[in-house]
Amino acid sequence: MKVIKTEFPGLLIIEPDLFQDERGYFFESYNSLKFGKEGIDYSPVQDNESSSARGVIRGLHYQEEPYAQAKLIRVIEGQIYDVALDIRKGSPTYGKWCGLIIDSDAKRQFMIPKGFAHGFSVLSERAIVLYKCDNHYSRLHERGINAMDPSLNIDWMVEKGKEIISSKDSKQPLFKDISTSFIFKG
């Protein structure tokens, strides 16, 4: 397993060891011992899976404490553009985002720590995405940021006018209007 650090403290790209032959492939998508050896303190408790069509944009989502979630994102089928937005006050990357293309061929994963809002767009005809979370879902603590906020200037790689966004996500506040308790602890 290869762990790639980004310029965003705590935001990691995980490249698992992939074994392929004429039968297909095998890889460990999560191994607590290997993560621990890499200094990643992460204990998942819930798996979420979504299926979406080309042009769907989901996000930007997060949960406040005590239900904040770190997420390990991977694509089971298809290709997405995955985005993590740093919402930790005092972080050197506060208000900035990092985007990564993830697909079912390379098996690359995105480790998104607590204190980030998360979203993705679907670049293939269909994508199945697995989110491995370290805390349970809580409707009372879920929050969002409008993915189309012009101040964020995220290029979701979806043709203009072809975006498919839920009414709930399209009504989320702009980044400047959110209030969050996340503090960067360097």
Say if CB 134 and CB 69 are below 8 A apart: yes
- Residue 164's beta-bridge partner residues? 56
Does residue 131 have an active-site annotation? Answer: yes
Query: Which two structure tokens, joined as six digits, stand for 48?
Result: 């979420």
Q: Residue 167 has what DSSP assignment?
A: H
CA distance 105 to 118: 22
* The two structure tokens encoding residue 88: 């930790």
CB atoms within 10 A of CB 153: 7
| C-alpha to C-alpha distances, 14 to 23, 75, 127, nearest whole angstrom | 24, 13, 19
Find the catalytic residue in 42, 62, 81, 131.
131
The residue among 47, 111, 56, 96 whose CA lies nearest residue 79 is 56
Q: Which entry of 61, 62, 81, 118 is annotated as an active-site residue? A: 61
25 catalytically annotated: no
Instruction: Name the H helices within the chain.
Output: 32-37, 167-170
**Which residues are part of the catalytic machinery?**
61, 131
